[in-house]
A and B are shown apart, each in its own frame.
Chain A
Amino acid sequence: MKMRVLAIIVTFAAAACANDPQYVECGTGDGSDVCTLDSQMGSSVGTGDDAVFVVTGSLHVPVMPPDSTLQKTTTQLQATMPTDVTVPVYRLDMYDLSVEWTLKNLDDKPTTAAVALNGANEDFAWDPTVIKPASNEDPPPPSLQGNIPFDVPANGEISGVFTEDELLEAAIDLDEITRGNINMYAATLVVSKNDQSFQPLSAQQAPPPDSDDAPMQTPMGSAVPRAAFRQMIRVDLAMLPGDSSVHLTLQFDIRVRPQITNVIDAMGMNAPAAQLMIIDPPKFMPAYTP
């Protein structure tokens, strides 16, 4: 009886602490992470009217390599899925993410700027700057969140946050675009955060020579249930100054709220390398961009 009471107390204590937030900043875990962006380090991407001045930085989520418990859970979940649906190691229900940022204008000249959020899951990264639309009249590839210009006063400071809901939406959109071949504009414009599944489609293809319309995409394979949605394991932030001559800095961190105890390292990105799972997947390139 005493052991049972003790077990209940320990379980409740562990559960109570499980989703306390953890604030992740750049650390020794990955030297390539950048948490402070400086407009003086920016560069122009694209050509002609599509050229944008941008500074980017990435910060990994300090996920731990899957232990035996996590592997067992993944295997058990995989057994409940259709055979053509792969259950990822790092899933939506394991942790919640949000990103806090502060932008400073170091000059005495007002300007505009935008902050855009992209990122990566364990299989693909999303970088809209490497995707070229089919024609110059097409809108630029979308960021997963943000990229809305705002005024920055002279010598001013603006703070903002990409909320847990926005990161949830971004993670699902990224999975829909990369695993489901869902059109990137549709995926980012439709609210998917409450979806219980999505249906993968056939790859987008270029229109045939005698037509301007791309072939219809058809459903392909089984629908992917929410339990198998991929969570983001890296956050990429882009600062887009309206005027590249104004000196701006952007500082950001990730707020992680683990829902289970064995997925996020308590030392964050300062944990020893062996305790972290640093994943930098390839950038996703759609077969055809409408």
Chain B
Amino acid sequence: MGSRLVTIATLGMVAARSAFALADDLVENKPEDRAAATGFLAEGGLGAVAFLPKLNKDAAVGPELELRVGRDLFSWFSLDLFAAASTHEATLPPPPTGQYFQLYRAGADGRLAARFNTIGIFAEGGVGAAMVSSNVLEPANITSPGQRFSIQFHAGVGAEYQLENRHYGIGIAVDGFLIPQFGEMKAIASRIYLRYTYGGG
């Protein structure tokens, strides 16, 4: 009986001590002074790609999925690797009719960011490679016979909202990209995204 009482008392003290410790660690993350994690990050976004003239008459607006991983080198600068895929209807003069193609882009970019409490703004830009899934745009002289790959450049801006959990941010971004070897293809890629930062710093 005595040993059982000792055990209960010991467990009670441990539980009480843990509760005090959690209360000590809890910091209120107020909107006017919201902390954001920095470190390794991952981002997933959904959006759309719209081509600019002259290509916009040969390819329709299409949905895009974009994934990023990167590292915050400073609180105001990060380096990212990205991969994006979008799908589009080919709207060039028939034939063909009702055909779709996919545009894949991947590369690296840098992001300069500034934060004002919960809101951050950023500018990003980089370089990479692009691949088109088929030669459906060849009749419009956008790709050459056998050509599937090109270098690509992109730059854009965006805004991000820091959630109460300092690892998460949501945002919108608009990038313009140029793919010189695909008939100087120019397009606007916009996305909404969720970003998770692993670090605590």
Contacts and interface: CB of A to CB of B under 8 A. Distances in A.
Nearest to B97: A159
A252 B95 contact: yes
Given A266-B146, A271-B146, A22 B95 contact: no
A253 B138 CA distance: 12
Consensus secondary structure, chain B interface: loop
A159 B138 contact: no
A31 to B, nearest CB: 16
Nearest to A100: B95
A161 B94 CA distance: 11
Interface residues of B, number: 14
B129 to A, nearest CB: 14
B99 interface: yes
Contacts of B148: 266
B139 interface: yes
Contacts of B2: none
A271 B147 CA distance: 12
Interface in A21-38: 21-23, 25, 27
A267 B146 contact: yes
A23 B145 contact: no
A245 interface: no
A100 B145 contact: no
Interface in B59-109: 94-97, 99
Nearest to B96: A100
Contacts of A21: 99, 134, 136
A4 B115 CA distance: 44
A224 B139 CA distance: 40
A159 B139 CA distance: 17
A101 B133 contact: no
Interface residues of A, number: 23
Nearest to B100: A21
Contact of A253 (B96, B133, B134, B146): B96
Contacts of A101: 95
A267 B143 CA distance: 11
Interface in B105-141: 133-136, 138-139
A241 interface: no
Nearest to A255: B96
Contacts of A23: 96, 99, 134-136, 138-139
A204 B148 CA distance: 50
A267 B145 contact: yes
Interface string A262-275: 00011110110000
Contacts of B99: 21, 23, 100, 255
Nearest to B131: A17
A22 B148 CA distance: 11
Contacts of B136: 21, 23
A268 B145 contact: yes
Contact of B134 (A22, A27, A265): A22
A266 B139 CA distance: 15
Interface of B: 94-97, 99, 133-136, 138-139, 145-146, 148
Enumerate the 10 nearest inter-chain pairs by beta-carbon distance, A residue then B residue, closest first: A267-B146, A100-B95, A270-B145, A267-B145, A102-B94, A266-B146, A100-B96, A159-B97, A159-B94, A20-B133
30 contacts: A17-B133, A20-B133, A20-B134, A21-B99, A21-B134, A22-B134, A23-B96, A23-B135, A23-B138, A23-B139, A25-B138, A25-B139, A27-B145, A100-B97, A100-B99, A102-B95, A157-B94, A253-B95, A253-B96, A255-B96, A265-B146, A266-B135, A266-B145, A266-B148, A267-B145, A268-B146, A270-B145, A270-B146, A271-B145, A271-B146
